[in-house]
Structures are given as C-alpha cells and as structure tokens.
C-alpha cells in the first residue's frame, strides 16, 4: 500500500496518504480510535473499496471485486468483519464449510454436496480452534469467544494466504481475548499465514504482532517493529506524549510513579541490554578511530605554523561547521541518506570526531616548542620530514589524552543516537520510555551508567601509566589522605 487516500463521499477523506508494507508470514496490527479509518484499510486490502488515490497491491494485483481476474484469487484473502458475519441459525460445521464454497460448482453448492475431503478439512480446522466437539451446535447457542473461533475457522477453510480480522477480540475479557489470539497465532504457524488485524488494545497488539501501525484521523502516525517483547524499530510522525497516553488509556505518569517503576528492574532484559551496549561501544570505537585517523592529516594542514592562510583558513571554517551541529543532528542526516541502523550512527560519530580532534590537535601543533623546529629546519629537512620527525612526536603526548576523552564522549553520545534510529542502546531506552515501560528502560540506563564509569576508570589508569609518565618521566601516584 503506497500513498493511499480513501473517501466514502468523494469529499471527506477517511484515509490520507497511508503507506504500509506487510511482509509474508507476519502478524501486522493496526491500532486506533473508533472512526480513525482502520476498517477502511481492510476493505481496501480485500477489494471491497477502491482508493481515491494511491496504490494497493496484493501479489502484484490491485484488489477490486469488480475485476474478474482478481475475483479468482479473492478466496486467498480470509476476511473476518467486526460483526463476524456468521449465519446464526445454521450449525458450526455448516458455517465453516462456507469457506470451501469457492472451490465447488454452483450445482454442488446448492445441494450441499461437499466432497469428503472438504468435510474432513472442516473438522481439522474446527479441532485446531477447539470447537470440533460442537460442530453440530447452532451458532446462536455459542458464547462470544466461541463465535469468534467459528469465524476464524471459516476463514481458514478458504485456505488463505492472508487473514484480515477487524477487531476480532473487541468486547471480550482479557483472558478470552488472549485465547482467541493464541488460536490465530497457532493457525499462522500451521498454515504460514500473513495476519493483518485491527485492534483497540495497544498492549495486546504489541504482545502478538510483529509490526504495529497506529492510525489517527486517517493518518498513519506511528509504526513499531516488535520481536518478542523487544521493540526493534520505530517510525513516528508528530506524536505527542498525551496522544500516546490516550492510546494506552492510562493517566499521565508523575515523578513518583516513574521512579518507583524504574527501581523495579526486569532482570530478564540484562542480556539484551549487554549486547545493545556492546553495539554502542563498537559504534563509538569505530567512529572514534576513523575520525582520529582522518583528523591527523587535516590537523596538520589546519595548523598556522605549518600551512599558509589560504589552506588553513578555509579548512578551519569547514571543521568549525562540523562541530557546530551535535552528532545527533548528523545522525538524522545520515539516517535519511543511508537508512536506519548503526552505520548511520558510525558516520555521525566519525564526522563529529573529525571536527573535534582536528581542532584539539592543530592547537597542540601550534603550541609545540619552536626550538626543535628551528634546529631541524636548519639541517635542511623537508616539510614532510619536519612533520614526521618533529611535529608529530612533539604533539603526540596530547593525542592519546584527546583520543581517550573523545572515546568517552562518543560512548555517551552513541547511547542517545538510537532516538533517531541510528543504532545503539538508546534505541531501546527511548522506545521503552515512550511506552512507559520504565522498569525495562532502567535496566538499559543502568548498563550505560556502569559502562561510562568503567571507561572513565580505564581512562584514568591509561593517562596515569602512559601520558603522565611520558610527560614527566615517572608514574603518577594518587595522593594519600
């Protein structure tokens, strides 16, 4: 579905430029308030409605019930309307067999001459949904949850590739709703179905779906990728905290509640937090190393005591421009250019490191003792030899300190780049906070704190052992009280 708009009266748009891409085998949930356009989306997907603009494609065909070619494949899309559409005065088995009718001739259909294999298939499907023992019972005698199971069985009897379900668990208690969702989950595994489901309950959608889209007044304002209980990606428009709270039907959190929930660590997330932090450190390390390697030759050309003003002037202006914008803004730019993921974060960290380290290093070069430069120049060294044997050794003691500081800084910066989808542990933190899962967010935040403290401790040790020793010729010992 790409840039789809729809209207019932050709004047007022129910949907506005909605785009969705549903992969085979996924459970795709659509959440929104009543009247937001959710049910219209399903009608567009099975051809009951034609979009006012944009394109809807199923297996490279445009869904349209008036198209004879498409009608031949319509049975491959199982559709469960919000009202279920069951024939209440016939039996459960007869309702389920309706799903097999597209495979029968009109003559056999009229006289209910169902082949033996179709009847066996119907019993198999009823057994899957837990209703085979009630196959002869009239539908009007069933409970609400059982009626929904019949509707699922009828859709499965079509042997579909896609299952469309419109608020199939609305008006059910939470236990029965999850039982019905478990039936669909089992059916997806058994028949390798793609399920597209309308929900009111965001929590239920996140629990069962691989992707969740939120519709508000005809616009898709949010889409979340879910893997188990982990949010793996996040796309959003202009979404306020109040609107998210309304989706959850929860009161706005206050500081006391937030702090209380953040102390309730969910220990099962430590492993995920560790690997996310490892990815963050890798991004910071690669970005820092790349930035330092690139910045070294740049800093030499930007030093006033080595280059002429026509070189160092424009170069310094360019470096100032890279430092003007924080790494998170560069991350937004690179996400647009190269897409979501750690690569965009690495590029942002690298660029900011180039601007920062280049400035520190060219200032170090300008501050070196001029006597060795004068002495070696008198020997007849070329500029390259001067740089290699004097400039670099004289400015090197400061470089390691700068690299350690930059790596420490980049780890903390990389921890928040996930806000814009540029990888790292911040991706988890921001999404858990947005969905008020403070206990989970606290686990990831604690891992960041411990990591930063560990890096700071290691930096002190390295400075004491190598930098101070190089500058003063001895190990620096901490003062005793």
pLDDT at 245: 45
Tell me if the domain spanning 269-472 has CATH number 3.40.50.970.
no
Q: What is the pLDDT of residues 249-287, one digit of tens each?
A: 444 455 555 555 555 555 666 777 778 788 888 888 998
Residues 6+ apart with CB under 8 A from 277: 425, 444, 447, 448, 451
Which tokens go with 66? Answer: 């008036």
pLDDT beyond 70 at 22: yes
- CB–CB of 65/71 below 8 Å? yes
What integer pLDDT is reported at residue 290 of this predicted model? Answer: 92
Q: Cβ distance 364 to 398 under 8 Å?
A: yes
- Six-digit token pair at 367? 């501050």
Asked if domains 2-252 and 269-472 share a fold, the reply is no
Would the pLDDT of 238 be above 50?
no
Looking at per-residue pLDDT, the higher value among 445 and 249 belongs to 445
Q: Once rounded to an integer, what is the mean pLDDT over residues 143-155?
A: 89
The residues that bridge with 219 in the sheet, in sequence order, are 216
What pTM was estimated for this model as a whole?
A: 0.50
| Per-residue pLDDT band at 6 (split at 50, 70, 90) | confident
Residue with tokens 């686990």: 443
- C-alpha distance from residue 17 to each of 2, 55, 247 (Å): 7, 10, 22
What is the rounded distance in angstroms from the CA atom of residue 330 to the CA atom of residue 321?
Answer: 11
Q: Which helix (H) or strand (E) holds 120?
A: helix 116-129
- Given a cut of 80, is residue 344 above it in pLDDT? yes
Cα 433 to chain center, whole Å?
Answer: 14
Contacts of 206 (CB under 8 A, 6+ apart): 29, 212, 224, 226, 435
Q: What is the pLDDT of residues 124-143, one digit of tens each?
A: 988 988 888 888 898 888 88
The domain defined by 2-252 folds into Rossmann fold (3.40.50)
pLDDT at 234: 62
User: Which secondary-structure segment (H or E) carries 372?
Assistant: helix 370-379
Residue 180 has pLDDT above 80, yes or no: yes
Query: Is the confidence at residue 37, as pLDDT, over 80?
Result: yes
pLDDT confidence bin for 435, thresholds 50/70/90: low
Sequence spans of domains, the chain:
2-252, 269-472
The answer to whether 466 touches 400, Cβ cutoff 8 Å, is yes
Other CB atoms closer than 10 Å to residue 372's CB: what's the count? Answer: 15
pLDDT top residue among 158 and 440: 158
């Amino acid at each position: 579905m790409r840039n789809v708009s729809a209207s019932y009266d050709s004047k007022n748009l129910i949907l506005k430029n909605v785009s969705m891409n549903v992969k085979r085998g996924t459970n795709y949930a659509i959440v929104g308030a009543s009247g937001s356009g959710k049910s219209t989306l399903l009608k567009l997907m099975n051809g009951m409605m034609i979009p006012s603009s944009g394109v809807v494609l199923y297996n490279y065909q445009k869904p349209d019930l008036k198209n004879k070619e498409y009608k031949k494949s319509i049975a491959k899309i199982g559709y469960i309307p919000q009202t279920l559409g069951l024939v209440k005065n016939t039996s459960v088995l007869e309702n389920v067999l309706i799903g097999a009718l597209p495979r029968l001739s009109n003559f056999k259909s009229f006289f209910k001459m169902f082949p033996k294999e179709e009847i066996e298939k119907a019993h198999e499907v009823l057994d899957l949904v837990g209703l085979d023992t009630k196959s002869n019972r009239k539908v009007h005698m069933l409970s609400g949850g059982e009626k929904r199971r019949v509707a699922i069985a009828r859709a499965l009897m079509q042997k579909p590739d896609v299952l469309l379900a419109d608020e199939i668990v609305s008006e059910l208690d939470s236990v029965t709703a999850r039982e019905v969702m478990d039936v669909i989950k089992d059916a997806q595994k058994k028949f390798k179905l793609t399920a597209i489901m309308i929900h009111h309950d965001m929590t239920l959608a996140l629990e069962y779906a691989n992707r969740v889209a939120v519709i508000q007044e005809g616009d898709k304002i949010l889409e979340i990728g879910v893997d188990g209980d982990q949010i793996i990606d996040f796309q959003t428009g202009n979404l306020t905290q109040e609107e998210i709270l309304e989706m959850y039907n929860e009161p706005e959190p206050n500081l006391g509640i937030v702090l209380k929930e953040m102390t309730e660590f969910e220990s099962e997330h430590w492993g995920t937090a560790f690997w996310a932090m490892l990815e963050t450190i890798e991004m910071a390390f690669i970005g820092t190393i790349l930035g330092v390697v690139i910045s070294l030759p740049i800093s030499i050309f930007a030093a006033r005591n080595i280059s002429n003003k026509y070189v160092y002037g424009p170069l310094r202006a360019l470096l100032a421009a890279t430092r003007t914008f924080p790494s998170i803004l560069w991350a937004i730019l690179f996400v647009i250019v190269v897409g979501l993921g750690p690569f965009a974060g690495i590029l942002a960290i690298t660029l900011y490191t180039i601007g920062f380290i280049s400035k520190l290093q060219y200032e170090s070069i300008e501050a070196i003792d001029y006597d060795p430069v004068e002495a070696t120049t008198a020997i007849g060294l070329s500029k390259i030899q001067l740089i290699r044997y004097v400039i670099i050794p004289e400015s090197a003691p400061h470089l390691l300190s700068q690299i350690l500081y930059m790596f420490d800084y980049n780890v903390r910066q990389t921890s928040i780049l996930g806000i814009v989808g540029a990888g790292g542990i911040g991706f988890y933190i921001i999404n858990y906070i947005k969905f008020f899962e403070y206990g989970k967010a606290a686990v990831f935040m604690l891992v960041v704190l411990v990591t930063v403290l560990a890096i700071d401790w290691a930096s002190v040790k390295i400075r004491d052992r190598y930098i101070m020793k190089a500058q003063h010729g001895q190990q620096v010992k901490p003062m005793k009280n």
